[in-house]
Amino acid sequence: MENKVTKIGVLTSGGDAPGMNAAVRAIVRTGIYNGMEVFGIMRGYAGMIDNDIVPMHSRSVANIIQRGGTILKTARCKEFFEYEGRKKAYANLKKLGINGLVIVGGDGSFRGAHKFSNEFDIPCIGIPGTIDKDIAGTDFTIGFDTAVNTAVEAIDKIRDTADAHDRLFIIEVMGRDAGYIALHSGIATGAEHILIPERKTDIEELIDSLMEKERRKKLVNMVVVAEGDNFGGADEVAKVVKERIPSADTRVCVLGHIQRGGSPTCMDRLIASRMGYASVECLMEGRHNVMVGILNNKMHYTPLERAVKAKQKISDEWIKIVRILAS
């Protein structure tokens, strides 16, 4: 690989996450400060293949740090899974002289970056941008704090109406493969039960617990379910609850994509800015194929290959906390 990176391409890939714009801003301005040219690649890897690549300047990223979504857009790109697609993308980068890439995304995006960097002579740096917080090597991912705070605000409001009507609410939050949003928002809102993909749902245990609470006249109950829960999400759980406990006034609320949008929290803006700055520093130092993360408030660098294979794990202590505090 070339020793000195002079032109950087930045893209956002996979699901959008609040704070991606803050990361793009930091990458562009850090690159320009260090005398580099920076290019924005539109629509993730699709833009790389379609040559939808634009020069970025300091003014290009003005007034975006507070905006959700991503000004570079994002897309899933099946063509990049194939070697011919990656070869076409590489040719477009070479025409522009781009010799370093920063990818803001999740594990799928990092898999593509790892493969691309191994096949061609362009170093890649990954920044974890995903609301699910499902990537090892960092305490937080960009977008998680905003998403979980959005969920908390919504669940707090639902509890008000649950209390007014003595209702049981089953609330579905995002988290196809990871239960961190459900876990954090559930604990923060005092949910009686939290169902996550990392633990097999014991529906009989849930029913028994809800019936016991009904017997002692605890009629307001909140069950927070991750969408990837093995039982099938909030609707499937609600079907069984309504059959087995018909006396309970049961309602379902699926929070959905509101968790993806909105202005990023201070925390997401800060970690995105730090990670964006550090990603350019990595390229300047000659690092490649690493993910920039933050562990114990310090920058941490994880090989992309390890970042996509290892997942954040939910400890048994978290589950114990849920059980004790919800009793």
Cite the active site residues.
Answer: 132
Burial class, 160, CB count within 10 angstroms (exposed 0-12 / middle 13-18 / buried 19+) = exposed
Distance of CA 126 to the CA centre of its chain: 13
With a CB cutoff of 8 Å and minimum separation 6, the contacts of 66 are 263, 264, 269
In whole angstroms, how far apart are CA 86 and each of 9, 20, 49, 97, 289?
A: 15, 24, 7, 16, 16
Residue of 148, 92, 96 whose CA lies nearest to 116: 92
Q: Phi and psi of 307, rounded to 5°?
A: -65, -35
Handedness of CA 148, 153, 158, 164 (dihedral sign): positive
- Residue entry with tokens 């039960």: 193
Q: How many residues in the chain?
A: 327
